[in-house]
Amino acid sequence: MRIDSLRLVNFRNYAQQEVCFSDGVNLVCGENAQGKTNLLEAVFLLTGSRSWRAARKSELVSFGQQQAMVSADVFSRSREFALRLGFSCGGRSSAQVNGVRLKSPGLLSETLRCVLFSPEDLQLLRGAPEKRRRFLDTALCQLRPRYAQCLAQYQKVLEGKTSILRKSAERPDMLALLPEFDERLVTLGACLMEYRARFCALLAPVCSDIYSDIASGREHLTVRYQTVSSVSDPGADRKTLERELSEHLASHRQAEMRLLQCLSGVHKDDLVLEIDGRACRAFASQGQTRSAALALKFAERELFFRDSGEYPVLLLDDVLSELDARRQAYVVGHMPGGQAIITCCEDTGRFSGCRCIAVAGGRIL
Ligand code: ATP
Ligand code: MG
C-alpha cells in the first residue's frame, strides 16, 4: 500500500499544493509551524478516520475559506485508486473513490490504511489504561470487523447497565434486570477477551523484538494483556472465560448496587508494558517511552502485514526528537517493504536512501 501523490486545496496552511511521495521512507522536514504535521494529517484523513487533533472539521479548512479538498493517488490491493475527500466549514464532508461517491467517508479505510505515531501516543506508555485499550481496540477493529461489532454491542449493554444502576436509587425494581445485562456482558466480554488475548499473543514477541532492535539489544521490553483478576488465563477457551467472567461480575454485584456504578469488566482491560521487568508507566525515560510507543506501532504494522499481505502506510510525526543517533538511524533505516512518511525538524543530510521533502510556509520547496 502506498501513496504516490497528494493534492491539497485550502487545507490548513496549504492554499494549493501537490506533493509526490516515493516508496520507502519520505522525510518531511522544515522548521516549526511550516506545515509538516498538516501534511500527515491530510494523508491520515484519507483513511476515513477523524483527525487525531481537530475537534471540528472547520479547523481543517484554511482561515477565511469555506471549503477544503484533499485527494491522492493510491496503490492498494495491486491496483491504482484515486481518493478524494472534501469538507466544508459547516462540517459536511464527502468522499469519493475513483469518482464514485461513498456512503460514508469511513469507507475510505477499505482502500487506504495508515499506522500513525504522533507525540500524543506517548500517552500509550504514560497515560491511563484507556489509552492502551484504545490502541488494542483500534487495531482489532481494523483487522476484524466481527470484533468491531462485538465491541459496539458490549458498549451499548454496558451503557444500559450503568443507566439501570443510576436509576435504581429511585426505581429499585429495575435492579431485577441486572442479571440479564450481566449475562450479555459475560458473553460479549468473553468474545472481546478472546480476540484481545490472541492479538496480544501475536503482538508481544514482535514488539519485544522490534524494541530490542531499536535499543540495540541493551534492554528488553515485555508486553502482556491484563484483564479482570478472576480470569487466570486469558488465552483459555471461551467456556472457561465465560465461567470466570460470570463469577467475577457476580462477586462485584453487591458493591455495584451500593455505589450505583459498573465497577469491573473487560472495559477496564489494560496492556502491561515493562522494560527489564520495570513498569514503563512509572520508570521509563523519555527516549525509552518513545521507543516503546514506536515498537507498539511498528508491531501493529507488522501484524497488519501478516494478516493482509500489505504494509499500511506508516506516518510518524515528530518521532526523531529525544531519540539518540543510534535509535534515530534505526527508525529511518529500518522500514523493510513499506512506505513511511516521517516529519522532522532536524538536518536530514545524514539519513541516506530517503526522499526529502522540504516544507516552508505552507509550500513544498
Ligand atoms: P512543528 O514542527 O512545530 O510541529 P509543523 O510544521 O508540524 O510544526 P503544523 O502543525 O503543520 O506545523 O502547522 C503549520 C501551521 O499551520 C501553523 O502555523 C498553524 O497555525 C497553521 N494552521 C493550522 N490550522 C490552520 C488553518 N485552518 N488555516 C490556516 N493555517 C492553519
Ligand atoms: Mg508538527
Looking at residue 241, its pLDDT comes to 96
Adjacent-strand bridge partners of 29: 344, 358
Counting ligand 1 atoms within 8 A of each CB, the residue from 37, 59, 65, 316 with the most, and so the one to mutate, is 37
Q: Which atom of ligand 1 has the smallest separation from the CA of 359?
A: 6
Q: Which residues line ligand 1 (CB under 6 A)?
A: 12-13, 30, 32-38, 59, 61-63, 318, 345
Q: In Å, what is the CA distance from 301 to each residue of 120, 179, 269, 275?
A: 18, 40, 22, 21
- Distance, in Å, from the CA atom of 33 to the CA atom of 11, rounded to the nearest integer, reads 14
CA of 286 relative to ligand 2 center, distance in Å: 18
Using alpha carbons only, give the angle 91, 92, 96 rounded to the nearest 5 degrees: 135
- Look at the domain 1-113+314-365 and name its fold: Rossmann fold (3.40.50)
Q: Which atom of ligand 1 has the smallest separation from the CA of 34?
A: 6
CA of 12 relative to ligand 1 center, distance in Å: 7
CB 245 within 8 Å of CB 190 = yes
Q: Is 32 exposed, middle or buried (0-12, 13-18, 19+ CB in 10 A)?
A: exposed
Looking at residue 123, its pLDDT comes to 93
CA of 54 relative to ligand 2 center, distance in Å: 13
Residue pointed to by grid coordinates 525515560: 285
Q: The pTM is what?
A: 0.89
Q: Which ligand is nearest to the CA of 15?
A: 1
CA of 41 relative to ligand 2 center, distance in Å: 10
pLDDT tens-place values along the chain, 365 residues long: 999 999 999 999 999 999 999 999 999 999 999 999 999 999 999 998 889 999 898 999 999 999 999 999 999 999 999 999 999 998 788 999 999 999 988 889 889 999 999 999 999 999 999 999 999 999 998 888 899 999 999 999 999 999 999 998 899 898 899 899 999 999 999 999 999 999 999 999 999 999 999 888 899 999 999 999 989 899 999 999 999 999 999 999 889 888 988 888 999 999 999 999 999 999 999 999 999 999 999 999 999 999 999 999 999 999 888 788 888 888 888 766 799 999 998 777 777 788 999 999 999 99
Q: Which atom of ligand 1 has the smallest separation from the CA of 63?
A: 28
Looking at residue 50, its pLDDT comes to 85
Domain boundaries, the chain: 1-113+314-365
Q: Which cell numbers in the block locate residue 117? A: 505515531
Closest CA to 330 of 212, 202, 203: 212
